[in-house]
Every structure is written in C-alpha cells, then in structure tokens.
C-alpha cells in the first residue's frame, strides 16, 4: 500500500513498523474486538459455571423441601416462597406509585420546579447503594415502625429500591405514545384521566411491563437490603410479619460460611435461571414494544 499523505501539516513519515497509523488502527481494532468478545466470554463463563456446579444438585425435592442442619441438607422450598413473596409484594407496592409518578410527570404537569424536585428525588434514589437501603429499612421499618424482621419490612424496602426503575421506564414508554392518540381522544370528548387510562396506558403497556420485570429481577438478586430487613430465619414465612430468607440470602449464607458448597451452587443455579428467565421476558416485551412502534 502506498504511503498516505496526511493533511496535518507535518512532513510525511513513512514507517512500515512501529506505531504508525495503520498498525495502531489494527491494534486498536483488535483490542476493541477482544473487549467485546471477552465480555461475552465472561458472561458465558459465569452462566455455564454456576449451572454446571449447581444444576446436578437441583431436584424436585430440593425445590420443595425444607432446609435442615442450617441448610447443609434439605431443600430451599421456604426460600423460593420467600423470594416470590418479597418480589411480588414489592412490585405490588412500587408499580402503582411508579406509574402514577410517570403519568403525573408526563400528562398532568409542565416542566418546572415541581417536576425538577420529583425528578431529582427519583434520580437520587436510583443511585443509593443497597447497603444504605438496608440500613434505612432496618432502622425505619424493622425498628421504628416496629414491623420487625419480616416480609413486610423487606418488601417495603425493596419497593423503594425499584421505584426509580419503574418511574424511568414508564415515563419513557408513555412519552413514546404519539400525540395523535391523545388529540383524537380529546376530540372525542374524553377527560384527561379517561384519555390516560383508555389510550395512553394501554399503548405504553409493553414499556411499562419491561420496567416492572426489570424491577422484579432486581429484587430477586438483592441481598444486602433483604438480610437487614427480612432477616434470615430458615422457616417458611406464614404471614406478612414473618421473617423470611430469600434465595439470594440463603446462597450468601451457605457460600460464605462453607455450610454446603453443593447446596450453595444449587441455590445459585435456581437464582440464575430465574434471572435468565426474567431477562428473556424483558427482551420479549421490548421486542413487542418496538414492533408496535414500527407498526405505526
């Protein structure tokens, strides 16, 4: 390849080796490709390793049995129930609040001081680390409000944690609904609330659902906040005020204290499969949302 003239004002330098522009280009390209494939490899490794270590120990008895000997033997039935209860409860609380916030910000008000305050609160909440949520949940729900270590304390804390996610995705989803929809609705005589509930929300549903599932996924994997608010008792929770040990917490305890590596990995495998499952759902929902957009 002939030497290229650079319009940099520098005398043309012909170097076939060393760090000339072409070699740097190739090297940089190589690095970038390596980074991408490496990241992919890391993900694949994590999934394969956890499933390889854990799935052999997963059985129906494991999934429904109760733990014995502090988890060295037995199953994780109560943990699964606890996780499901915590996640669904927290979404139950956060969903209406989050969607309401998004509706308010998009349909009921103009940009101004109030919206800036609301947005600041939401964004700030998104950045709070989970251990702080744990400390807060402990001192506020467990002690101050007297709920004790319980499903309720855990769910409330988790709800606050996932609120920003739901607000953000709901807002985005609502904003993508075309103005035309709203105008048609108004022209037919609908009130604002009617327009929102009959036109905007249904149209924005896939996007909103994505946010909900994202939040759900986050609650499944959360440990620090849960351990400080829902406790770590091994028994099946029987009411909102029972302490509960989620799968993630169980995994942490088993793993860290070396109680049972095989049970730890098995729990981890179940956890990971759950996350994979929710991610697949998210992607499906996103596809549906995008298809709807394209169809307009």
Partner 1 sequence: MLKERLIQYLLLALALTAVLSLAVITVFILREGLPVLIEFGPIRFLTRSEWAPTQGQFGILAMVVGSLWVTLGALLVGVPLGVAVAVFVTDYSPPLLAQVLRPAVQLLAGVPSVIYGFIGLKILVPLIRDSMGGAGLSVLAGALVLGIMVLPSVIAVSEDSIRAVPQLYRDGALALGATHWQSLWRVVLPAAKSGIVASIVLGMGRAVGETMAVIMVVGNSLQLPSSPLEAATTLTSNIGLEMAYASGAHRQALFATGIVLFAFIMLLNLVASAFRRRTIRA
Partner 2 sequence: MPPVEVAVKADRAGRRAVLMLLMGLATGCGPVASSAGGGISVAGSTSVQPFAELLAEEYAREHPTAPVVNIQGGGSTAGIEAALTGAADVGMSSRELKDSELAQGLVSQPIAYDAIVVVVHPDNPVAALTSEEVRRIFAGEVDNWSQLGGGDDRITLVVREEGSGTRGAFDELMMGDTRVSARALRQDSNGAVRVIVNSDRNAIGYMSLGIVGDFVKPVPLDGVTPTVEASMAGDYFLVRPFLFTWLGELSAPAQRFVDYCLTAEAQAILGLEGLIPVEGA
Residue 271 is a binding residue for partner 1 (CB under 8 A)? yes
CB 215 within 8 A of CB 97: no
Give 61 or 128: the residue with its C-beta nearer to partner 1: 128
* Residue 85 engages partner 2 in binding (rule: CB under 8 A): yes
Q: What are phi and psi of 245, to 5 degrees?
A: -115, 115
Nearer to partner 2, 136 or 241 (CB): 241
The residue among 182 and 218 lying less far from partner 1, judged by its C-beta, is 218
Instruction: Let me know if 188 is exposed, middle or buried by CB neighbors in 10 A (0-12, 13-18, 19+).
Output: exposed
Residue 141 CB, shortest distance to partner 2, in Å, is: 14
Least CB distance to partner 2 at residue 143 (A) = 10
Site map 211..250 versus partner 1, x via CB under 8 A: ------xx-xxxxx--xx-------------------x--
Query: According to the binding rule CB under 8 A, does residue 49 interact with partner 1?
Result: yes
State the minimum distance, in angstroms, from the CB of residue 196 to partner 1: 9
Q: Is 51 in the site for partner 1 (CB under 8 A)?
A: no
Which x/- pattern, by CB under 8 A, does the window 227-266 give for partner 2? ----xxxxxxxxxxxxx------------xxxx-------
Among the residue ranges 62-70, 81-89, 161-169, 233-241, the one whose residues contact partner 1 (CB under 8 A): 161-169
Residue 175 near partner 1 by CB under 8 A = no
User: Should residue 225 be labelled a site residue for partner 2 when binding is judged by CB under 8 A?
Assistant: no
Choice from 86, 268, 285, 289 touching partner 1 (CB under 8 A): 268
- Interface with partner 1: number of residues (CB under 8 A): 89
Given partner 1, partner 2, none, residue 148, with its beta carbon under 5 to 8 Å by kind, binds: partner 2
| DSSP code per residue over the chain | -PPPPPTTSSPP---SSSS-HHHHHHHHHHHHHHHHHHHHHHHHHHHHHHHHHHGGG--HHHHHSPEEGGGTEE--HHHHHHHHHHHHHHHHHHHHHHHHHHHHHHHS--SSHHHHHHHHHHHHHHHS-HHHHHHHHIIIIIIIS---SSHHHHHHHHHHHHHHHHHHHHHHHHHTS-HHHHHHHHHTT--HHHHIIIIIHHHHHHHHHHHHHHHHHHHHH--HHHHHHT----SPP-STTS----HHHHHHHHHHTTS-HHHHHHHHHHHHHHHHHHHHHHHHHHHHHHHHHHH-
Residues 56-75 that bind partner 1 (CB under 8 A): none
Residue identified by tokens 């988890």 is 71
Q: What, of partner 1, partner 2, none, does residue 101 touch, CB below 5 to 8 Å by kind?
A: partner 1
Residue in the block written with tokens 């022209």: 187
Assess 147 for contact with partner 1 (CB under 8 A).
Answer: no
Q: Could you list the residues that contact partner 2 (CB under 8 A)?
A: 61, 64-66, 68-70, 77-78, 80-81, 84-85, 88, 148-152, 231-243, 256-259
């Amino acid at each position: 390849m002939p030497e290229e003239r650079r319009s940099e004002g520098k005398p043309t330098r012909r170097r076939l080796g060393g760090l000339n522009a072409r070699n740097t280009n190739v090297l940089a390209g190589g690095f970038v490709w390596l980074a991408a494939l490496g990241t992919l490899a890391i993900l694949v490794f994590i999934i394969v390793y956890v499933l390889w270590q854990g799935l052999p120990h997963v059985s129906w008895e494991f999934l429904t049995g109760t733990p014995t000997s502090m988890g060295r033997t037995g199953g994780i039935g109560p943990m699964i129930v606890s996780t499901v209860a915590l996640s669904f409860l927290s979404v139950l609380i956060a969903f209406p609040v989050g969607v309401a916030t998004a509706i308010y910000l998009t349909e009921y008000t103009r940009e101004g001081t109030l919206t800036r305050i609301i947005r600041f609160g939401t964004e700030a909440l998104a950045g709070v680390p989970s251990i702080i949520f744990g400390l807060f949940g402990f001192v506020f729900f467990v002690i101050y409000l007297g709920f004790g270590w319980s499903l309720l304390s855990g769910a409330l804390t988790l709800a606050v944690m996932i609120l920003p996610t739901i607000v953000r995705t709901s807002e985005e989803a609502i904003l993508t609904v075309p103005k035309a929809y709203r105008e048609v609705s108004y022209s037919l005589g609908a009130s604002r609330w009617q327009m929102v509930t009959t036109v905007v929300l249904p149209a924005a549903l896939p996007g909103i659902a994505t946010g909900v599932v994202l939040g759900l996924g986050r609650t499944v994997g959360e440990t620090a906040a849960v351990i400080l608010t829902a406790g770590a008792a091994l028994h099946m929770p029987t009411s909102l005020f029972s302490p509960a040990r989620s799968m993630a917490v169980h995994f942490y305890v088993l793993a860290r204290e070396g109680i049972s590596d095989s049970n730890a990995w098995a729990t981890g495998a179940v956890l990971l499969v759950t996350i994979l499952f929710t991610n697949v759902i998210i992607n499906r929902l996103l596809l549906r949302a995008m298809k709807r957009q394209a169809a307009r």
